Structure 1
Amino acid sequence: MSNLDVFIVNVALPEIGDHFAPASLSSLSWVLNAYAVIFAALLVPAGGYADRTGPKRAYLVGTTVFTLASILCALAPDVWTLVAARAVQASGAALLVPSSLGLLLATAPPERRVPAVRAWTAISGLAAALGPVAGGLLTELDWRWVFLVNVPVGLAVLIAAPRLIPATGGAVTGRGDRPETAGPDVLGAVVLTVAIASLALGLVKSDDWGWASGGVVGTLVAALVLLAWFVLRSARHPQPVLPLPLLRVPGFSSATLANVLFAVAFAAMLLSAVLWCQQAWHWSALRTGLAIAPGPLVVPALAIGVGPIARRVGAGLVAASGCVVFAAGIAWWAWQMDPDTGYAAGMLPGMLLTGIGVGLTLPTLVGAAVSALPPQSFSTGSGVVTMARQVGTVLGISMLVAALGSSDDGGRDAGAMLGAFDDGWLLTLLATAAAAAACLLIRRPRPADES
């Protein structure tokens, strides 16, 4: 549900904007960013909660919150109520994701953990493949159905999970000399939330306010100060949002950095494709979903099939190669796309290349990160990795909105709109190049760790 929801809502975003008109792209971006910001800030506390109380309990609580919040999203009377409901929904997703991976890793034998992670990522990729088409179909009925579709799924999980999910024990310890009696760092989560939101606000409002304006400079400076405070607090708190010792685990820190950077590129790519189809070609939500689907459809098979290659040549090289293929897809769009170009010659080749790039890179980076962790930190560590991806998602969406500026209004001609998209794709290429460089920093495991 948590992965499907991201792709469904991306496709439905223009329809949501039409329903709540007038709603600018910078305002609508918070329907996506509110989810990603809260998701990022709560992932590690949620992973710690799953480690302490057991992933099964966290999974069921997360499903309950996510399902109820989906109803609130569907009932939202305006954009900002929808944004608030999305924040609640994100808190449920923050419990779902690390606890689901924690359950998987706790029940998989050591020699099967990396393949299990790839299978877990492949299912996420399947959600990504189905999401655009499902979003298009549901939006044709009414955009509210993109949220209501979660309700029967959530109810089915709550009925079946208590019987089907195996018990994995109670609290998991092993945080070194940090006292387990200390509560989670709620203030740290708030500081991280405000920091990421401030950074996103400064970026998405740069066109409206001006880069040199007091509003943009003030929000960006505030974001940097809050991020510095957050890091200092994480170093001192017994149950921090970001457990800094995990970043000293060989292989984990570089894979996490690569996850952030690749998420920037991936989020910008996805939103740019949706906006291009509906703004440049004036396609319906359903046609947009069908246009996007070929890329994600190649992800699941690659997510599983690339595992043996990564074990032979190293995760870093495979992930970096995926970044190169992904960049080729973005470069194709920058070279070939214009309002008069057909889908087959314009968008489709780039969509297939970006899909191959995602299939090579994303599961490889996730697998490289979590396989470097000790078993007692699976849920928390997977929370850090997913938090990194969500932070990258916020930055990618905000970066694209800043590049597009007012291209969403009707006053721009085709040339100005194309130039704005080219700027967005150039920034996406730069983020992909940075991700490739970070991938090459991932060290290969010793032969004893290859399993």
Structure 2
Amino acid sequence: MRASPGAILAVLSLAAFMAGLDLFIVNVAFDDIGRDFAGASLSSLSWVLNGYAIVYAATLVPLGRAADRFGPKRGFLIGLGLFTLASGACAASPGLLVLVLGRVLQALGAALLTPTSLGLLLHATPPEQRPRAVRIWAATAALAAAAGPVIGGLLVLASWRWVFLVNLPIGVLTLAFARRVVPEQRLEKPEALPDVFGAGVLTVAIAALSLALVKAPEWGYVTTPTLSAVLVSLALMAVFAGRSRSHASPVVEPLLLRVPAFLWSNVTMLWFSIGFGANLLANILWMQQVWHFSALRTGLAIAPGPLMVPIFAAVGQRLTRKLPAGAIAALGCVLCASGAWMVLSSVRAQPDVLGAVLPGWMISSAGVGLAMPTILSCATVDLPGSRAATGSAIVTMARQVGGVLGVSLLVALIGHPRGFAATHEAFQRVWWVAASAYLLAVFAALRMTPRTSRKALAEVEPVIER
């Protein structure tokens, strides 16, 4: 069945939206899951988020490269099917451990469908329409990140299990349309099998660092368990870097880092995502745990924010005619930092969504709309065509690693405060860290505009193609 580029874009964006949505939709379900599972602590519940994000980040590139070898469309359909089935397993989980394992399976499915969806989109879209298609695909991911708490709040009204059950009809529908609409993509030569061991090393390294951050308030910051976890993480990062330089098919090809736009897009995405992960969850937990809002009330309180994302993604698209991409992303990061600062300086014990949370949250959401699609699209614009999907997977990996670090820092900074004054101070620390991470992203963004990359690309492309 031949389909228009618009229909293909719609199907592939829907799949990416579903995978991106699940990264954030469970935030507002924390309290309900904790009550259902005998009052699980915040540090234990954080692994429902971090377990997904860590596995997703570490397996994006290897699974994407494996799909390139065995067939992108086949990989996309398998990933979408696995994600859908794992969602059902999460919904039926009898305990927290089973839920975390189900989230790991979801992450494997998402890591397979996300890079293949972009690769299939680029293959099926005429060259002159590709920049616009990539921005729409990226804006869909940004909208999913911002809309997750709203949709989650509505679903938790019935049960937290609906946060996962909702994926079943969407997944089945997307599978049916994708089989008919999305064309096959065959590569001229098969990809080498990726470095699976290297991906495992990266997974454990990120998990060890997250464990150290999450457990530091309980274990102590300068104790044997905390320092051991940090040392394990650093040692494994060194092993991963060594394998990336020596392996025939590494998870991250060092040559790609010689393309400045790609390198600085990843640095920008890492800092941006640290701020985003901490800021989003801090807003939600403040309303639920300090103001005692229900999941539904929390979702509705921040509902206007996600509406800003597609609006400012469109604004960002128009600004590309007048401003460099790096300046647009930097402006978005400045707005995000300003929004976090406004919230931290405004919240008090008395609930006040309109005066204390919503103004800063809407400014941050506008910044997300400017920054995230720009960073994602800028990361791959100067890469060889054969590495567009790989480049997208790497920048998405940076996004997930940043999110893991942001959530882990939040858990470490909040700790176990007693009384409003201590709780207020702990949350203010989180918002300060989020704002600082956004500002660091500003400086990286200013260097990511594709302007000096052509010379580097001329050196890199022949080596990669060989």
1:256 aligns with 2:266: yes
CA deviation vs aligned residue, 1:311-359 (integer Å, no higher than 9, x gap): 4321111111111111110110111111215111000001101001111
Give the total of aligned pairs. 438
Q: 1:413 aligns with which of 390, 410, 419?
A: 419
Q: 1:294 aligns with which of 286, 304, 322?
A: 304
Corresponding residue of 1:23: 40
Q: What is the CA-CA distance between 1:56 and the residue it aligns to?
A: 1.3
Change (3 A) 1:213 1:415: same
Q: 2:449 aligns with which of 440, 443, 447?
A: 443
- 1:201 and 1:219 in contact (8 A); partners too: yes
Change (3 A) 1:400 1:345: same
Q: What is the CA-CA distance between 1:102 and the residue it aligns to?
A: 1.0
- 1:129 and 1:294 in contact (8 A); partners too: no
Corresponding residue of 2:277: 267
Amino acid at match of 1:424: V
CA deviation vs aligned residue, 1:131-172 (integer Å, no higher than 9, x gap): 22221121111111111111111111222211111222x235
Superposed, which structure 2 residues align to 1:185-196 within 5 Å? 185-196=195-206
Corresponding residue of 1:171: 187
1:120 aligns with 2:137: yes
Q: What is the CA-CA distance between 1:231 and the residue it aligns to?
A: 0.9
Q: 2:430 is paired with a residue of what secondary structure?
A: helix
1:149 aligns with 2:166: yes
TM-score, with normalisation over the residues of structure 2? 0.91
- Find the aligned partners of 1:22 and 1:34 in 2 and give their Cα distance: 19
- 1:51 and 1:379 in contact (8 A); partners too: no
Q: What is the CA-CA distance between 1:440 and the residue it aligns to?
A: 1.1
CA deviation vs aligned residue, 1:340-385 (integer Å, no higher than 9, x gap): 1511100000110100111111111111101121111121111101
Q: What is the CA-CA distance between 1:182 and the residue it aligns to?
A: 4.2
Corresponding residue of 1:52: 69
Amino acid at match of 2:447: L
CA deviation vs aligned residue, 1:86-125 (integer Å, no higher than 9, x gap): 0111000001111111111112222322211111122223
Structure 1, gaps ≥5 residues long: 174-179
1:79 aligns with 2:96: yes
Corresponding residue of 2:6: none
Worse-superposed segment, 100-109 or 386-395? 100-109
Corresponding residue of 1:362: 372
Q: What is the CA-CA distance between 1:304 and the residue it aligns to?
A: 2.7
Q: 2:429 aligns with which of 418, 423, 430?
A: 423
Q: What is the CA-CA distance between 1:181 and the residue it aligns to?
A: 6.8
Q: 1:32 aligns with which of 28, 37, 49?
A: 49
Corresponding residue of 1:133: 150
Worse-superposed segment, 102-111 or 229-238? 102-111
- 1:126 and 1:299 in contact (8 A); partners too: yes
Q: What is the CA-CA distance between 1:431 and the residue it aligns to?
A: 0.8
Corresponding residue of 1:235: 245
Corresponding residue of 1:177: none
Q: 1:22 is paired with a residue of what secondary structure?
A: coil
Q: 1:211 aligns with which of 200, 221, 225?
A: 221
Change (3 A) 1:214 1:102: same
- 1:12 and 1:143 in contact (8 A); partners too: yes
Q: 1:94 aligns with which of 100, 106, 111?
A: 111
- Find the aligned partners of 2:192 and 2:379 in 1 and give their Cα distance: 27
Superposed, which structure 2 residues align to 1:345-360 within 5 Å? 345-360=355-370
Amino acid at match of 1:171: L
Change (3 A) 1:294 1:181: closer
Change (3 A) 1:181 1:351: closer
- What is the identity percentage for the equivalent residue pairs of Structure 1 and Structure 2? 49
- Find the aligned partners of 1:190 and 1:126 in 2 and give their Cα distance: 30
Structure 2, gaps ≥5 residues long: 1-17, 456-466
Q: What is the CA-CA distance between 1:446 and the residue it aligns to?
A: 7.0
- Find the aligned partners of 1:88 and 1:113 in 2 and give their Cα distance: 31
